[in-house]
Structure 1
Amino acid sequence: MLKVLAQSWPLLLGVMLLMVGNGVQGSLLGIRGGLEGFSTFELSVIMSSYFVGFLGGSRLTPGLIRRVGHVRVFSAMGSLISAVLVLYPLVVDVWAWSGFRLLIGFCFSGIYVTAESWLNNTATNETRGQTLSAYMIVQMIGIIASQGLLAQGDPSGFALFIIPSVLVSLAFMPVLLADTPAPTFDETRGMSFRRLFIVSPLGCVGMLLTGGVYAAMFGMASVWGAMRGLTIGQIAAFGAALYVGGLVLQYPVGWLSDRMDRRMLILWLSAAGAVLMAASAAVTLPFTLVLGVALLLGGIINPLYSLLIATTNDHLTKDQMPAASSGLIFLNGFGAIFGPLVAGWLMQRVGPAGYFLLLAILFALLAGYAAWRLSRRRSPKAQGRYSGLSPTASSLAVEAVLDKE
């Protein structure tokens, strides 16, 4: 690990600063939008716009990189993010904020593709797994730190918009000044969705549903907290707990995954998530228990994403995996667009309980479909290794996992 840090620390530091900036603005908008008088559904449109842009960026960035190169794409997208972040408090309008979020989602998606390809290029076959692990860890650390920064600021002022802009600008210094040469970018041949569904129906349906869960959970967390009447510090703690749970529970779930039928583990985790969310929707919990719910919720959804990729890859040859991963990530992003919208619609009609109600429904659908698929197909004779991945990872990070197997 020390060798990985010595070789890749500029890129990892840049990624961490990016995640701090992204995490602050993502949570801040839900709080500031409420102060500006935006309705819950209007805020859900704003939050959903990020995932529209993110999905578009994941599809278009590879072509941009092949045309003009990593450095230019990285610099252009970083500059646009910094500029947009300071425009939020100056142009207070639902559709303007939605457009800003779309642009930021597009740019962050492109930045992840660029950074991950750079990291993958610096790694050797012996260090690729450790490099990916370090990348995922610094992502989580950056997001958790962003919630601490949010708790110390004033959401009604300008500082919490300016600081993320500065952090994003600073993030490019270690990346662009690193002496690592920009890698080549090869195009991955795609796999049709029909073929992908035939190979792994559970992987396709699961990625669509978990995309909705992830986007609703993180995108609407601060909106839910504001509706519930939580303080800024409590909202920040809730958001941080979601990521801490995902960081802590990845390993034990991965350990189980390599020792049992992954579809059964998907069923158990989804069922547990459905029960936990239904109980949270039915009862108004004290804040200490809310933090426990957040830890478990984050600890369920992050490993589920990795499990669905792993269970799909169990039915593929190695040369098919990169193409399949691209399709799975698209399905996850498509589901993410609708998660905040439906959550906002429910919250506007039934109150804060709508946040947990939607998550309960999506988890229950995944559990039911996993149970049905268990009755339709035998478990594979051999399973590949589980690797923890974040739902924000691009297909390049997934390919890095495949290369180490």
Structure 2
Amino acid sequence: MKITKALPLAALASLSLVLAGCGGDASTSGSGTTGIQVPDLPMASEVGESEGQVNIIAWAGFVEDGSTNPDADWVSAFEEETKCQVNRKVGATSDEMVQLMRSGEYDLVSASGDASLRLIAGGDVAPINTELIPNFGNIVDGLKGQVYDTLNGKSYGVPIGRGANVLMYNTDHVAEAPDSWAPLWEEDTEYAGKTMAYDSPIYIADAAVYLMATQPDLGITNPYALDADQLAAAVELLKTQNGLVGEYWNDALKAVSSISSGTAHMGTGWQVIVNLAQGDGGKVESVLPKEGATGWSDTWMIAAEAKNPNCAYKWMDYASSAEVNAQISQNFGMAPANALACEGSDANAAHCETFHATDEEYYKQVWMWTTPVEQCVDGRTDVTCTNYQEWTKAWTEVKG
């Protein structure tokens, strides 16, 4: 199973976006955003004959032809069915994916929330005609119309899957299951020097989630919409944690080793890390704490000037089918986007239960990664929010 996910996130140049009215639950209200000034690009009106190929930038594990793992091959059937040869480029980071899409050589990308706004604002991707993707109708409601891929009533992404950043812990060292992030943040923690934290500027949002619950007077209502004072408060909390944390990670396999062996007693992680640790014999469990959590979601996005738009649309629909979406999500380690991917076998059902695939109450507590920009995504218009470039500078300050 390939589980590396283009981390840490690349630094982001300042965006000139006009965002407003993006409040709601942690997962957002599902209505996207309005008032964003982006290029007015046409979307496809029909899917024609195959051009013979499609060029895709994707995370490792999303587009597999059996060459990496003989048990993971959904590309071969697509090529035979559509006569579209799949040419895959594995993306290492979101920043690299953005640059590759701007080269004009690729038709599709599997974009995370930290890249999608950049692509949309830059006119690099076109709105998607979801009527041309029959399987879109089976996408879970909680992944439709989100702030990171739906703007001004237009959809720019076809959801692939999602996951939460959970609190994982080793039961040999943590006798009672925690229900709060407090042991990772508070100075009096009994786990000082034995915790793990995620090594990326986007982790600032995790601090913001905790502050939302513990310091409501700061007025944080969205962890990706921090004004200067709110960012300063998050940085102060992160500096406190820096003196307590045993290690930072951005390599998931390293995280598996640390939590499984008990080198780390608890820390921020992904459910797939917990699963692998358990598979290695580690006594590891996870919980979504009462304060909520951050998370991530990926979507297929089509290039504004795709050379092979017909094959691109055929791929987006094919990859969104229940069978293929189940394979992708299980291969990567995330909740599938297609609700029907949870049916058909005991393995599918078990996977979906583990990753809370259709549990919208669970994901209402999860704030999906969204690029911080100057225009506050919580709807405030009387202040300027901090952008990802400022977050990157702040993270360097935290790490020292």
**TM, length-normalised to structure 2:** 0.26
| Greater share of strand | 2
The structure in which a higher percent of residues are helix is 1
